[in-house]
Structure 1
Amino acid sequence: MNKKICILTDSLSKGGAEKVAANLTISLTNKGYQVYVVSMTNVIDYQFTGNLYNFGLIKEAQNKFKAFLEFKNYFRKHKFDVIIDHRVRDKYLKEILFSKIIFRKQKVIYCIHSYNLSFYFSFLKLPRLAKFPHTKDHKFVAVCHEIKDYLNKTLNINSIHINNYLLNNTTPFENFNEDFFDEYIIGVGRLNKIKQFDKLITCYKNSNLPINKIKLLILGDGENKKVLKQLVEDLKLKDLVNFYPFRENPYGLIRNAKALVLTSKTEGFPMVLLEALSLNTPVISFDCKSGPGEIIKHGINGLLVDDQNEEALTLAINKLVDPHFYQKIKANADLDLEQFSESKAIEKWKDIFENPNKYFS
C-alpha cells in the first residue's frame, strides 16, 4: 500500500470540509499510504499527518507567476497516484488552468461538500460547460446521499457517496477551565450568512430558555461577528449570549452544552452534528439541504425542524426544558453512529485507490 495520495484543501482550519481533509490525512497515513497535504492558504490549525506543502506561504513570498510555476512543478515532480480535491472551485478560469495544465495527466477526485453546487461548478445551467474544467481521469465524491442525487439530477454526474466521519481516536477533551458553568445551548461554525446565526439568536430570544436562565454560546469567527453582537445588544441579550472564538478543539464546550443547534441555510454533511452526538450532546437543526436529515433521528437523538421554519425551531428549543423529553434524547444521542464510522468511509476510499480502473475513465 505504497501509493502516493495528495490531499488538496483551501486551508487546515475553521471549516467542516477542511476538518474532513485533515481527518483523511490521518486515516490514510494509518492505513500505510504516503500522504501529501497541499494547503492553498497559510492557515494551519487542525491536526494532520503527512508531508505539508504550504502553498499559502509560497504565494506570500512570490509573485503570482512564479508561485504558479512552483505549484505546477510540485505536482509534476511528485506524480501522485490520486489527488483528492476538497477546495471550493467556483473560479472558472482558475479551474481550467488547474485541470488542463497542472493536473492534466493526473487522476483527480473532486469532493462536493455542499448542496450549493455553485461552490464547485460555474455555469450550472449549462452542464457541458460546467463539467469542462475537470481532468480527463476524474471522479466526483458526494458527502451525502442528497448531494449525490442532486448532482445526478442537475449535471447528470454519477458520483460516489462517501460521508464525512469522526476519527476513531477522538481528540481528548480540552481542559475546561473557563468560568462558564451555567446551562447553555451552543451554535458552532463560521459567522457568515450561510450559517444564519442571526436566526439562532432570534429563536433563542423567543424561546423559554432565557427565562429559565439557559444561555446561548456561539463558537466561531467570521465577517458577521460584529453584526451578530449588535443584534444581541438590540435584543437585550448581552448577559445571556456569549461569543467564543474558533478553536481547534471545541469538544469541551460542545460536551458541556445542553444541546447543539444548527440553523444553516445550506450544508453538505455537517461534521458538527456528528461531533455533538458522539459527545452525548443532543442536536436540533433545520432540515436544510443537506445532511441533517441523514444524521438526526427526529425525537430520538434530537429534533429535525421544517427547513427555515423559525417558529418551529423556537418550539423545538422549548422542548429542552422538558426534563423527561430531554433525558430521552440525551440518552440516545450517540445511537447508530456506527454507520458514519471511520472504518466504513476509509474502506470506500481504499477501494478507489486500489481499483482505479473501476472508477476512472
Structure 2
Amino acid sequence: MATIFKTDAGNYKALVRKSGWPTTTKTFRTSRDAKDWARRIEDEMVRGVYIQRSGAERMTLEMALKRYLTEISPTKKPTTQRAEATKAQQLISHLGKYSMAALSAELIASYRDKRLASVTSRGKTTSNNTVRLELALLSHLFTVAIQEWGLGLSFNPVLNIRKPSAGQGRDRRLSAEEERCLLKAVNDHSNPMLGWIVRIALETGMRSSEITSLRRHQVDMKKRVARLSDTKNDSARTVPLSKWATETFEAALNNPIRPIDCDLVFFGEPGKDGKRRAYNFNKTWGVLKKKLGMADLRFHDLRHEAVSRLVEGGLSDQEVSAISGHKSMQMLKRYTHLRAEDLVGKLDMLTREH
C-alpha cells in the first residue's frame, strides 16, 4: 500500500509497503509524480518483477569506478591495474556525474562517438582499440554492479551498442638491413643487457615483460628452455631456446657485474629503497630507434617478427602457439605476417611437382 505525504521542504514523498517486499521510498516535486511512481512500483511488486533501483540511482559512475578500482582492479596484474586507472579517468571525465541508473545505451554510444573523434596529445585521433578497451571496462563494471553489488540494475547498457571495429593487426616486419642496423646498435650500447634482450626477443617471441622479469632459476641451460610463470594470459609456459638464444642467455647469466644477491637475469640500478628491479630500457629503446630512422618500430614488433619466422620455418600452429603462448588460433593469425616474397619459392616448387 502506498502513502503520499508532503515534506517540510515542500516536496512529496511516496512510501510503498507490501508484504514480502522491502519498504521503498522516493521524493518528488509534485504529488502527481509521487502517485505515478508509487502505482508503478506496486504494479511491479504484484507482477514479481520489481527491482530496487535506489542504489543505482544514488551511485554515480565516478563513485562506481572508484569502488571498482579499489575492489576489483587489485585482483589483476599491476600493468592491468595501471591501464584500468587510465581508462577510468576518461570515463569519469565524460560520464562521471551520471548515476548508474541514468547511463543509457544512447549516452554510452554518444561517448563512443566523441572519443573516436577526439585527438590525442600526439595529434592523432583516438584509436578504435583504445575506445573498445574503455567500453570493455565500463561493461565489466556493470556486470560486477549487477551480479555482486546489488545496485538494482536490470541490464548492462554497454551490450546494446556497437563496438568500434578491432582494426587491422600490425604487420611491421624487419627487413634484413633494418635487423643488421638494429643489432649493431644494441650490441654497441654501453649496457650489454639491451643487446641480449633484443636478441632473445627475436629468437623466442617472448614479450618484453616476460624477458625482463626472468629469474636465473627459470632458465635451464641443460634442457635449453626458459620457464615462464608470469605471463600476460596467466598461463605458465616453457619456451624452447634456439642455439643463438641459448648462447645469449649464457652470456647474460654470466654477467660479471651482477650483484651476488640479485636473482634477476636482467637487472637495473637500485631504487631509492635500495632494491633492484628489472632492467627498464624503454627510454633507451625510444632514443635508439629514432636515431636509426625506425621511429615506427615497437619492441613488441620483435615478437611479431619472431612468431612469423617460426611459421615460415615450417612449425605447425600448435607448435608455434606452445612457444608464443597464444591461446587462440585467431590471435596467432594476427601475429603472423608471412612475407609474400618468401612464398614465391614454395609456389615454384608446387608448380614443378605438377
Larger Rg: 2
More helix by share: 2
User: Which structure's relative contact order is higher, taking Cα pairs within 8 Å and 6+ residues apart?
Assistant: 1
TM-score normalized with structure 1 length: 0.28
TM-score normalized with structure 2 length: 0.28
More strand by share: 1
